[in-house]
């Protein structure tokens, strides 16, 4: 099963919108004028200032919509725990999974014996599901036999502030591999269209220069520490959030 993430749509000129909102907060002029007149340099400077000061609510005016295909139900369950977002997920009540291709973790696929047992279990689930459907059991009930490895498709819309929070939590090496791969892919897509907002985005240790889990043997922490970027104190991009 291959993860596929597409940035379907986003607020046109998202950084200009957020910067215009920020400018209006601190001047007598309207956001309309700011939206029209701000130069790219003004936008970059304003956004860096509001991010470092923690005035992140202005980032909520920029939204991003992703189409996500090929994640497991285990992963989508972790994703939808992020409440500041909108979701539309393929229904297992209305859509019958005809040819199910399951998501197999690498820890399983690289271990011959584990893979054999895992695949046997999935095959039993797949057969039971088909049997139940053929017997006339509604898909909404037959699905109860499907495992967390079942694939799903989901559309998610998040604003830039919520995305920054999502990346802090899910780009972390402590996050599970599947949602981390998803978060990293989403981050690379939004960096392309809003480089100032997302240029410094990433796991907590990158944005705040501290590790909330205190995992000081984590390879990412060691890398940051060796480069002189990390410290044990609080601080960093979203310190005043
Ligand atoms: C490493 C890791 C391990 C986890 N382990 C578990 C686990 O064992 N069990 C489990 O149930 N979950 C677990 N989670 C999920 C976690 O508890 C969150 O539900 C999930 O990460 C969503 O984060 P969030 O609440 O910040 O995001 P969102 O729901 O998008 O919320 C964003 C922010 O809005 C604010 N906010 C949102 N809703 C409220 C509210 N009702 N009241 C006050 N402020 C609010 C908060 O500041 C929040 O950070 C884990 C997450 C991670 C990253």
Give me the mean pLDDT over the 17-28 stretch: 95
pLDDT digits (tens, 9 = 90+) for 86-101: 999 999 999 988 777 8
CA of 58 to the centre of ligand 1 (A): 21
215 lines ligand 1 (CB under 6 A): no
Residue closest via CA to ligand 1's atom 47 equals: 165
CA 236 / ligand 1 centre spacing (Å): 21
Assigned fold of 4-87+152-226:
Gyrase A; domain 2 (3.30.1360)
Domain residue extents for the chain:
4-87+152-226, 103-149
Question: Is pLDDT above 70 for 235?
Answer: no
Mean per-residue pLDDT, 204-219: 88
Query: pLDDT band for position 143 (50/70/90)?
Result: very high
Whole-number Å distance, alpha carbon 154 to ligand 1 midpoint, is 19
Please indicate whether residue 93 is annotated as part of the active site. Answer: no
Residue 95 and residue 53: Cα distance in Å, rounded?
A: 47
Is 175 near ligand 1, meaning CB less than 6 Å away?
A: yes
Q: For 156-204, write each residue's pLDDT tens digit.
A: 999 999 999 999 999 999 999 999 999 999 999 999 999 999 999 999 9
């Amino acid at each position: 099963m291959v993860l596929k993430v597409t940035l379907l749509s986003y607020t046109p000129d998202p950084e200009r919108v957020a910067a215009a909102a920020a400018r209006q907060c601190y001047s007598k002029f309207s956001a309309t004028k700011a939206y029209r007149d701000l130069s790219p340099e003004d936008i970059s400077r304003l956004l860096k200032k509001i991010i470092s000061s923690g005035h992140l609510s202005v980032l909520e005016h920029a939204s991003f919509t992703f189409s996500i295909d090929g994640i497991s139900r285990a992963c989508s369950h972790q994703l939808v725990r992020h409440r500041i977002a909108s979701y539309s997920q393929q229904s297992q009540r209305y859509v019958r999974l005809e040819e199910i291709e399951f998501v197999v973790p690498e820890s399983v696929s690289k271990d011959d014996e584990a893979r054999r047992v895992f695949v046997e279990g999935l095959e039993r689930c797949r057969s039971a599901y088909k049997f139940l459907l053929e017997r006339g059991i509604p898909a909404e009930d037959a699905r109860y036999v499907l495992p967390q490895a079942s694939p799903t498709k989901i559309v998610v819309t998040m604003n830039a502030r919520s995305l920054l929070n999502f990346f802090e939590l899910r780009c972390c090496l402590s996050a599970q591999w599947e949602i981390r791969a998803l978060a990293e892919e989403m981050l690379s897509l939004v960096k392309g269209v809003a480089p100032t907002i997302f240029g410094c985005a990433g796991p907590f240790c990158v944005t705040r220069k501290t590790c909330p889990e205190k995992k000081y043997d984590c390879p990412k922490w060691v890398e940051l520490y060796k480069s002189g970027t990390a410290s044990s104190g609080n601080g960093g991009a979203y310190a005043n959030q």
